[in-house]
Amino acid sequence: MSDHAPSPRLAILGGGQLGRMMAFDAHRLDIAPIVVAPQEAAPGFAAAKPIPLDFDDAALGARLEAEADVLTYEVEHLPVEAVRALGERVPLRPGIRSLEITGDRLLEKQFIASCGLPLAPFAPVDGPEDVDAALAVTGLPAILKTRRHGYDGKGQRRVSTREEAEAAARELAVPSVLEGFVTFERELSVVAVRGLDGEVRSWPLAENTHRDGILHVSVAPAPGTDGALHARAEAKAKRLMEELDHVGVLTVELFDTGEQLLLNEIAPRVHNSGHWTLEGAVTSQFENHVRAVCGLPLGDTAARGASVMINLLGELPPREALLAVPGLHLHLYGKAPRPGRKLGHATLCADDMGGLREAAARLPEALRAPTLAALA
Amino acid sequence: MSDHAPSPRLAILGGGQLGRMMAFDAHRLDIAPIVVAPQEAAPGFAAAKPIPLDFDDAALGARLEAEADVLTYEVEHLPVEAVRALGERVPLRPGIRSLEITGDRLLEKQFIASCGLPLAPFAPVDGPEDVDAALAVTGLPAILKTRRHGYDGKGQRRVSTREEAEAAARELAVPSVLEGFVTFERELSVVAVRGLDGEVRSWPLAENTHRDGILHVSVAPAPGTDGALHARAEAKAKRLMEELDHVGVLTVELFDTGEQLLLNEIAPRVHNSGHWTLEGAVTSQFENHVRAVCGLPLGDTAARGASVMINLLGELPPREALLAVPGLHLHLYGKAPRPGRKLGHATLCADDMGGLREAAARLPEALRAPTLAALA
């Protein structure tokens, strides 16, 4: 094995299911995963060496310097300065700029605009006094969103009048962004990956359906999309990644208006709408992220047939009922149930959309209706 | 989650790559894996709670009783009495009889014969004095194999004369079995699984090529086989599993003589010739073993296209060279290199055999020739 490079040790900041699934794929490549999370118990600790420290713990830098060769993150809501300091001790991929920008909705939108990519009108709102100026940009209705720490519909208020907008600004009471409403036909996402050498690949588009602001169902490849639409989406992701010098996976959520692909959000990481790649693509988003940040060649992102991914939110159907569904691939995250919480996901694969509909008809009742609706 | 059964804790006896891959799939089902192995470091410890104790350690039974709900094994060469005692404290699946019989070549062959299934002629040889009587059964040439602890071609001597047979018996110096030679067209294996409720499923047949007595390449579904041949092989596996009241995966290696399927060996576990199921089948052998021993419904064993699995033996090509092969699925076990040692495997999948040959043509040189030969 003289010519087999020693195995890099990969530290993942964040202890959720994304790091957990990344760790499984890292093991397969003989890359030893470490998971850093402030909790005592975290889904990501299951299959990795745990470091249960706060991200700004004074001891963390020295530990990572001693124990890790590469540093990555599975969540964008991290203390930027603490991560910057860690990245000065261990190579951080994606870099600090991807984190800094996507961890703040205003910076993110300004960045998207600076890349010349289309998005809904937006304006900063630091308090009720900014509402009038912001509404002049966005019109009504609009959505007020906190700049930081919002995800899965948290920290958002839909407003239909000036008074509602002011009330929402008082209520959120933190720096926020007002977004104009856009009319769109559907929500798509493109999960893309950029290697250390700058090579970019992306998986086929996913079409996403939400429930209460949380991703519920993803279908991939998105029905009725062609290579041209995928190429347009990939070009946007590529532009953003190159501008950020991003290494690893980056996900772009898009509003398909029929004429345009408007950028909704960027996630500098593997994404829930890419979970279908575990069984539905040749190489999963998790494996390609690990490959990219460790400087390894990227894997094939082609789809294997058609897939539908359903999130298991809030409570789990009995495991037996899920596993009795022919061809269902179950992924549980080892999390305690809580309303709206992502506890796991299930993926069905088939040769084509017709096969997917047949498979979905056998799902337990609670999952069947939303899945069939997404496949309609 | 009131109706979601609590997660069973699954303890795996044996710390090799089979338990390691079982543990990955267990996590996905939110079944907490524990790996028991006498080593300080074992491939199986990577993604499981390690119990680094000897199988006959006096403390092990109490620990497993406290920490595990179900007990299984990933290797048949275990101290039977120690495992029997553990199985009296925690439900052991497969049961002790599967272990007892397959851990001893003579008992195994006698068991196969007692089930009315065809195999090569055999006779026990406890020492040189038994050679004449054994040769009367087997004829020459023949192979002398130790009854216990032989695997991957270890503990075997091929003999062409009576004198060689006597010398081999003196050399091995342990209870052995003499096997007659059979002429066969190819080696096949069937990996089957039996649920706690007695349901039996099996994956498509694999065609296996060995190198120096060690499995090297498996192609699945075995080229040129039809449903009838698969049904015949599955029926044999089913007969054995029912007789053993086996729960979990069991693998049967077969000699295909063109007219008959002669039984070569039984493994009471997931098997190297079933590694292709990780990407090449809807449900992997590892997941279905976990499902079976935990009393969960079995998953679909259908193939997804055609697959070829290549073992990485003795030394590893550079990781970069492997990962640069389009569509290659890499599984490394975290083991130090040693001549002939199974360090990992790689799987290629395609729609059909033609696609597999195209994919295999891009393998690094050392892997290309044996793979293309297996696909010829």
Q: Are B150 and B105 in contact (CB under 8 A)?
A: yes
Contact B320 A5 (CB under 8 A): yes
Is the model's pLDDT at A4 over the cut of 80? no
Strand bridging mode A32-36 / A9-13: parallel
DSSP β-bridge partners for residue A253: A189, A265
For residues A288 and A60, give the distance between their C-alpha atoms in angstroms, rounded to a whole number: 26
The pLDDT, as a whole number, for residue A7 is 83
Q: Which residue of B21, B27, B296 to mutate against A (max A Cβ within 10 Å)?
A: B27
For residues A201 and B200, give the distance between their C-alpha atoms in angstroms, rounded to a whole number: 41
Contacts with B, A 124-183, CB within 8 Å: none
SS3 of B111-144: the string is HHHHCCCCECCEEEECCHHHHHHHHHHHCCCEEE
Q: List chain A residues with CB under 8 Å of B1.
A: 315-316, 336-337, 343
Contact A24 B27 (CB under 8 A): yes
Measure A313 CA to nearest chain B CA, in Å: 11
Residue B86 token pair? 């553990």
For residues B289 and B12, give the distance between their C-alpha atoms in angstroms, rounded to a whole number: 11
Half-sphere exposure for B258 (CA within 13 Å, toward CB)? 4
Query: pLDDT tens-digit profile of B274-293?
Result: 999 999 999 999 999 999 99
The pLDDT, as a whole number, for residue B7 is 83
Closest A-chain CA to B24? A24
Query: pLDDT tens-digit profile of A95-115?
Result: 999 999 999 999 999 999 999
Q: How confident is the model at residue A348 (pLDDT cuts 50, 70, 90)?
A: very high
For residues A69 and B317, give the distance between their C-alpha atoms in angstroms, rounded to a whole number: 22
Closest B-chain CA to A46? B47
User: Looking at residues B45-52, what average pLDDT do you find?
Assistant: 94
Which amino acid, A247? V
The pLDDT, as a whole number, for residue B2 is 35
Closest B-chain CA to A282? B327
Q: List chain A residues with CB under 8 Å of B365.
A: none
Could you tell me if B340 lies within 8 Å of chain A, comparing CB atoms? no
Is the model's pLDDT at A23 over the cut of 90? yes
Q: How confident is the model at residue A3 (pLDDT cuts 50, 70, 90)?
A: very low
Measure B159 CA to nearest chain A CA, in Å: 34
The pLDDT, as a whole number, for residue B154 is 75
Domains of chain A, with CATH numbers? 9-92 (3.40.50.20), 121-180 (3.30.1490.20), 186-375 (3.30.470.20)
More confident residue, B360 or A2: B360
Q: How confident is the model at residue B151 (pLDDT cuts 50, 70, 90)?
A: low
Could you tell me if B334 lies within 8 Å of chain A, comparing CB atoms? yes
The pLDDT, as a whole number, for residue B5 is 58
Is the model's pLDDT at B236 over the cut of 70? yes
Q: Are A10 and A37 in contact (CB under 8 A)?
A: no
More confident residue, B1 or A97: A97
Contact B320 A29 (CB under 8 A): no
For residues A110 and A250, give the distance between their C-alpha atoms in angstroms, rounded to a whole number: 17
Is the model's pLDDT at B246 over the cut of 90? yes
- CA A261, A266, A269, A272 dihedral sign is negative
DSSP β-bridge partners for residue A33: A10
Q: How confident is the model at residue A1 (pLDDT cuts 50, 70, 90)?
A: very low
Q: Compute how many other C-beta atoms are within 10 angstroms of the C-beta atom of residue B149.
A: 13
Radius of gyration (Cα) for chain A, nearest Å?
20
For residues B263 and B252, give the distance between their C-alpha atoms in angstroms, rounded to a whole number: 7
pTM given for the model: 0.96
What's the CA dihedral at A349, B10, B344, A66 to 10 degrees? 110
Query: pLDDT tens-digit profile of A250-304?
Result: 999 999 999 999 999 999 999 999 999 999 999 999 999 999 999 999 999 999 9
Strand bridging mode A49-51 / A142-146: unpaired
**ipTM given for this complex:** 0.94
User: Looking at residues A145-150, what average pLDDT do you find?
Assistant: 87
